[in-house]
Amino acid sequence: MEPHISKFVNVTKVTTHVLQEMKHKNEKIAMLTAYDFSMARLLDKAGIDVILVGDSASNVMAGHTSTLPITLNEMIYHASSVIRGVKRALVIVDMPFGTYQGNSKEALSSAIRIMKESGADAVKMEGGREVLESVDRILSAGIPVMGHLGLTPQSIHKFGTYVVRATDEHEALKLVEDAHLLEKAGCFGIVLEKIPAKLAAQVSSEIKIPIIGIGAGPNVDGQVLVLHDMLGITQEFSPRFLRRYNNLSEEIQGSVKAYIKDVKTVDFPNEREQY
Ligand code: KIV
Q: How far apart are the CA of 54 and the centre of ligand 1, in A? A: 5
* Annotation says 106 is catalytic: no
**Quick one: pLDDT at residue 216?**
98
**Quick one: pLDDT at residue 3?**
67
Considering only CA atoms, which of 89, 37, 102 is closest in space to residue 222? 89
**Quick one: pLDDT at residue 5?**
79
**Quick one: pLDDT at residue 237?**
86
User: In 65-139, which ranges are E strands?
Assistant: 90-94, 122-126
Considering only CA atoms, which of 12, 63, 61 is closest in space to residue 38? 61
**Quick one: pLDDT at residue 236?**
87
**Ligand 1 atom at minimal distance to the Cα of residue 126:** 8
The DSSP annotation for 197-221 comes to: HHHHHHHHHH-SS-EEEESS-SSSS
Report CA dihedral (63, 227, 162, 71) to the nearest 10 degrees. 50
Cα gap 66→126, rounded to integer Å: 14
Positions of CATH 3.20.20.60 in the chain? 16-244
Of 56, 92, 195, 228, the residue with max ligand 1 atoms within 8 A of its CB, to mutate for a pocket test, comes to: 56
Cα gap 68→101, rounded to integer Å: 13
| Kind plus residue range of the DSSP H or E element containing 225 | strand 222-225
**Quick one: pLDDT at residue 125?**
98
**Ligand 1 atom at minimal distance to the Cα of residue 67:** 1
Domain 16-244: assigned CATH number: 3.20.20.60
Residues of the chain with pLDDT under 70: 1-3
From 21, 117, 193, 271, the catalytic residue? 193
